[in-house]
Amino acid sequence: MTKPRIGFIGLGLMGRAMVGCLQDAGYSLTVLGNRDRTGVEEAVARGGSEAENAKALAEASDIVMLCVSTSEQVEGRIYGDDGVLAGVKEGTVVIDFGTSLPGSTQKIADDMTAKGAIYLDAPLGRTPAHAKEGKLNIMCAGDEAAYQKVKPVLDVLGENVFHLGKTGNGHTIKLINNFFAMTTAMAMSEAFAMADAAGIDRSALFDVMAAGPNRSGMMEFIRNYAVDGKVDLAFSVENGAKDVGYYGTMAGDLGRDSRMSKSTVAVLEEAKGTGDGSRMIPEMVDWMTKHLGDKA
């Protein structure tokens, strides 16, 4: 059976790892990058093709995949005379692997449906290293028949592939997940900073907290940096602020007011304001230690 032709937009660290995984599995890829051409050049060197624009990429593809950072960037690639929407055909499946606003996702899905194409939201869990090995967690939502059509490709990329129901559910669940993760990370970072202020050993604090129901993988990510100086969560403060901000926007779109996310996004935005947006989330322990004495 002939493998579908895949177009891939967004070749950052995650995207280029996914492209490499797909090429290793024998898929033909057309790619489109942005300013950093490293991923594009790697893909072309492995037999891929580079598209002139998103429209041309869509015209050459049965499945179009996007792996970019924000809803604004997704919409920038979807719309316009040279966008994906202008190039899709009847039956084209377009997949957004990023963490996007569900409202934007639904709008794009409706516009794709009008062209006879199908839009799936499929945000990711895990890291580029997992992507390279085909071991991502993939949270896919949207049309069931389209999901089944592309599932063999998703199974190449993912160890755990979920179908989560209607359009937007994938992005909604991812935003809830990231809100909870970032809130836990900020709370644990402050806990270590407060222990420092009180003259309490960080390891002693963690051992007590982790002996009960508080223990979680996110706590351990923060502990590994706070105690051992090890960063094993490669997720930036800037990305955390974006995702929690999107969560708050989503809550508003649902007619709800998120109380908890306001504190989380406030501290992440404050860290961005002090020039620390590019630091990794576990390094917020240092930021908290430095700024916990500041007046709010």
Residue in the block written with tokens 């800037």: 238
Chain length of the chain: 296
Tell me if 289 sits within 8 A of 196, measured CB to CB: yes
Q: Could you tell me which residues are beta bridge partners of residue 6?
A: 29, 63
How far is the C-alpha of 290 from the C-alpha of 142, rounded, in Å? Answer: 45
Exposure string of 179-191, with b = 16+ CB inside 10 Å and e = fewer, is bbbbbbbbbbbbb
- Given 89, 115, 135, 174, which residue is catalytic? 174
Q: Could you tell me which residues are beta bridge partners of residue 163?
A: 140
What does the longest C-alpha to C-alpha distance in the chain come to? 65
Tell me if 169 sits within 8 A of 143, measured CB to CB: no
Burial tier of 160 (Cβ tally within 10 Å: 0-12, 13-18, 19+):
exposed
Does residue 174 carry a catalytic annotation?
Answer: yes
Which residues are annotated as catalytic? 174
